[in-house]
Amino acid sequence: MNIPEELKYTKSHEWVKEEDGFYVVGLTDYAQEELSDLVFVNLPEVGDEVEAGETFADVESVKAASDVYSPVTGTVAEINEELLDAPEKINEDPYGAWLIKVENVSDTAPLMDCAEYEKLLEEEE
Amino acid sequence: MKLIFERGQEGRHLSILPKLDVPAYQPDEALLRAQAPALPEVSETEISRHYSALERRAHGVNNGFYPLGSCTMKYNPSIDEEMAALPGFTNVHPLQAEKTVQGALEVLEKMEEKLSAITGLKYFTFQPAAGAHGEFTGLLVIKAYHKDRGDEARKKIIVPDSAHGTNPASAAMCGYEVVNIPSASDGCVDLDALKAAVGPDTAGLMLTNPNTVGIFDKNIEEITRIVHEAGGLCYYDGANLNAVMGIARPGDMGFDVMHLNLHKTFATPHGGGGPGSGPVGVREDLGKFLPGFRPVRGEDGELHLAQPEKSLGSMRSFFGNFLVVVKALTYVTMLGREGVLEASRNAVLNANYMRKALEDIFPAAFPVTCMHEFVISLDKLHKETGVSALDAAKALLDYGIHPPTMYFPLIVHEALMIEPTETETKETMDEAIQAIREIYERAYSDPESLHHAPHHTVIGRPDEVTAARKPKLRYQKEV
């Protein structure tokens, strides 16, 4: 299981990192593997408000539909439009295929570092 | 296999249409299409062989075991079809004069009586076309109830995390905010979570009982009391009524509104597109909000159609899928009071028989006496052998068995949800148990072969991913 050291994680299996003043959010390797082949991604619109711990997107695989929860509270600055036509990019490269970039962040959900997240995954197993 | 559109020849005709027995009418030129539609031009033999070939490729309850959890794929008695084919039911129109369709109206009256006896709820509408449509209708009734009381603050519907996916979807369609509450470790509603979730903004609770893991919630009266005390109403999703009909009534459990799936619980075929029927029942004081028209017996002894006083409108044309109601009425009438009870008891007995017989290799996700279905987890098998619930389900096809429901409910990893129904014999279930045990053994001896199962069906593994990502929804003629 790939858990990059430089990222922060939520217990609902999203990753987040700070980059150029934005908070970049995506799904972890574990999440994409559990979901299996993704066939659909529903993203918010630029300018939408997201709230830490609340759902902001949903993804669908051949197995199930799942909500995606925001690690931060803020405004959507950018969405990864490429995913709308190619949701498989999340399966291929979960840490490259970010979902949204958030600005004006005022709050964050409880976040874990990679060691803590690895421990959570062991417990889930 | 060729599509019907790829068969035949230009100009080939059938002679099955009867002679025109009404005056011919020439529509206005502007209403006519410029080009004839690209319909198949085939002979009667070609049609007959085409659909017979399709039928041979299909799997229904008439072909073999169909333990698709949560779908209640029971055998449909042929007499149901015979009754639904009677000309008095098929050659009538909903706009005919009431006095000429008294028999058809009596079907609705009788069915309401029977459903009311089985569920403990007083009034029914037969308009909803199936389960999710029933949910939507029921929630609109709840909305109408609160609005009628002048209480506009109730914006939330509480749904447990084990609910059918249609529950939150129906609530959202209705403009409600969905509040998800977690299940307790026994798969039932977590009472503390429920208490914390209810308040003056609670419009209602949606619940399936027995729930999605096949367990009857022991706290059901406490659950409905908590919601009622907060001022909300309780909605019963009747998807799993097959386990309790004739034994326990949603009305007695404290539910105010519910839908039934006639096409599951009361036989009548389903799958492959229906038609279904999802009547909604309500307690007495909510009857005035029901949609459509109800037959009411007048002083003249005849049935007349009347719209409920504060009806929320119409959910569908006329009386929904009427012939499905005819089949369901035949089904309950043939069973009788004792038979309905026995059907539920046998459904529960069969599920527990299979659960126990598989317990040593696949412990049930919640190891208690189940109702009409149970959920096993293949998580351990998956970790040890790489064989997933999907692989095992696909392998069952080679045994002539329709796979159980997979990966549902989401709260169980590598889930398979098995519902044998009451219409299966012990021998059929023993064969299925044997097949599942063989697959289990093969997972350890030859996992590779299971990754590619099924091996003996016309189609192996359809490419579900491409089908979902790049769906082709209709045939397009090559020009």
Partners of A87 on chain B (C-beta within 8 Å) are: 469
Q: What is the 8-class DSSP label of residue B68?
A: B
Find the closest chain B residue to A84 by CA distance. Answer: B469
d(CA B364, CA B375): 6
| pLDDT, tens digit, 9 for 90 and up, residues B117-149 | 999 999 999 999 999 999 999 999 999 999 999
Q: Maximum distance among all alpha carbons in chain A?
A: 38
Residue B430: band (very low, low, confident or very high) from pLDDT cuts 50, 70, 90: very high
Closest residue in B to A36 (Cα–Cα): B465
User: In chain A, which residues have their Cβ closer than 8 Å to the Cβ of B465?
Assistant: 37, 39, 62, 88
Q: What is the DSSP letter of B30?
A: G
Average pLDDT over residues B93-117: 97
A residues 104-123 lying closer than 8 A (beta carbon) to B: none
Let me know if A74 is exposed, middle or buried by CB neighbors in 10 A (0-12, 13-18, 19+): buried
Residue B92 has pLDDT above 70, yes or no: yes
Q: For residue B380, is pLDDT > 90? A: yes
Given a cut of 80, whether residue B48 has pLDDT beyond it is yes
d(C-alpha B194, C-alpha B207), whole Å: 12
B145 closest CA partner among B19, B247, B231 = B231
Residues of A within 8 A of B407 (CB-CB) are: 63-64
Structure-token pair, residue B137: 């209708």
The nearest alpha carbon in chain A to B178 belongs to A55
Contact A37 B465 (CB under 8 A): yes
Q: Do B468 and A40 touch (CB under 8 A)?
A: yes
Per DSSP, A120 falls in state: H
CB contact under 8 A, B469 and A125: no
Compute the C-alpha angle B93/B96/B102, nearest 5°: 95
In 3D, which of B268, B269, B234, B267 has the Cα closest to residue B251? B234
- Is 90 exceeded by the pLDDT of residue B479? no
Searching chain B, which residue's CA lies closest to the CA of residue A38?
A: B465
B406 neighbourhood in chain A, CB within 8 Å: 63
Indicate the range of A22-31, B53-62, B99-108 predicted with least confidence.
B53-62
pLDDT tops 70 at residue B375: yes
Angstrom distance (rounded) from CA B251 to CA B85: 33
pLDDT, tens only, B320-337: 999 999 999 999 999 999
> Residue B278 CB: number of other CB atoms within 10 A?
30
Confidence band (pLDDT; 50, 70, 90) for B17? confident
Chain A residues lying within 8 Å of B468, measured CB to CB = 39-40, 60, 62
CA B383 to chain centroid, in Å, comes to 33
Contacts of A60 in chain B (CB under 8 A): 468
Region B33-51 average pLDDT: 91
Does the CB of A65 have a partner CB in chain B at under 8 Å?
yes
> Across chain B, what does the average pLDDT equal?
94
Q: What is the pLDDT of residue B468?
A: 86
State how far the alpha carbon of B228 is from the alpha carbons of B57, B116, B205, in Å.
Answer: 50, 21, 10
Mean of the per-residue pLDDT values of chain A: 94
Instruction: Give the minimum alpha-carbon distance from B406 to chain A in angstroms, rounded to a whole number.
Output: 8
Six-digit token string for B178: 């969905």
Q: A-B interface: how many C-beta pairs under 8 angstroms?
A: 23
For chain B, give the percent of residues with pLDDT over 90: 84
Across the interface, of A63, A87, A88, the residue whose CB is closest to B407 is A63
Interface-testing mutation among A13, A51, A62, with chain B (most B C-beta atoms within 10 A): A62
User: For the stretch B209-225, what's the b/e string if a residue is b when 16 or more beta carbons lie within 10 angstroms of its beta carbon?
Assistant: bbbbbbbbbeebeebbe
Highest mean pLDDT among B178-182, B231-235, B456-460: B231-235
Contact B464 A62 (CB under 8 A): yes
* Residue B296: band (very low, low, confident or very high) from pLDDT cuts 50, 70, 90: very high
The beta-carbon neighbor of A39 closest among B165, B410, B468 is: B468
A9-105 CATH, one of 3.90.79.10, 2.40.50.100, 3.40.309.10, 2.40.70.10? 2.40.50.100
**Closest Cα to residue B190, out of B207, B202, B177?**
B207
- Whose tokens are 């529509």? That residue is B27
User: For residue B288, is pLDDT > 80?
Assistant: yes
- Residues in chain B whose Cβ is within 8 Å of chain A: 165, 383, 390, 406-408, 410, 464-465, 468-469
Q: For the whole model, what pTM was predicted?
A: 0.89
Question: Which residues in chain B are closer than 8 Å to A62, comparing Cβ atoms?
Answer: 464-465, 468
pLDDT for the residue B167: 94
Q: Is the pLDDT reported for residue B228 higher than 90?
A: yes
- Residues from chain B that touch A42, judged by Cβ atoms under 8 A, are none
In order of their start, the domains of chain B are: 4-57 (no CATH), 79-334 (3.40.640.10), 344-466 (3.90.1150.10)
- Mind spelling out the 3-state secondary structure of B169-230? HHHHHCCCEEEEECECCCCCECHHHHHHHCCCCEEEEEEECCCCCCCCCCCHHHHHHHHHHC
CB A39 to CB B410 under 8 A? no
Query: For B381-403, how does the pLDDT look when each residue is reduced to its tens digit (9 = 90+)?
Result: 999 999 999 999 999 999 999 99
pLDDT of residue B460 exceeding 80, the answer is yes
Tell me which H or E stretch contains B342: helix B322-358
pLDDT in tens, A21-47: 999 999 999 999 989 899 999 999 999
Nearest residue of A to residue B464, measured between CA atoms: A62
User: Which of the residues B167, B177, B412, B464 would you substitute to probe the A interface, choosing the one with the greatest number of A C-beta atoms within 10 Å?
Assistant: B464
In contact, B266 and B328? CB cutoff 8 Å: yes
Question: B105 has which bridge partners?
Answer: none
CA–CA distance, B418 with B414 (Å, rounded to integer)? 13
pLDDT at B273: 65
Q: How near does any CA of chain A get to the CA of B61, in Å?
A: 25
The nearest alpha carbon in chain B to A40 belongs to: B469
A106 vs B220: CA distance, rounded Å: 42
Domain range summary for chain A, segments of one domain joined by +? 9-105
More confident residue, A40 or B269: A40
Contact A125 B383 (CB under 8 A): yes
Q: Which candidate, B264, B287, B290, places its Cα nearest to that of B132?
A: B264
Contact yes or no for B469 and A65 at CB 8 A? no
- Does the ipTM surpass 0.90? no
| B413: closest chain A residue by CA | A34
Q: Is B320 left (phi over 0), alpha (psi -120 to 50) or beta?
A: left
With a cut of 90, say whether residue B363 has pLDDT above it: no
Cross-strand bridge partners of residue B258? B236, B281
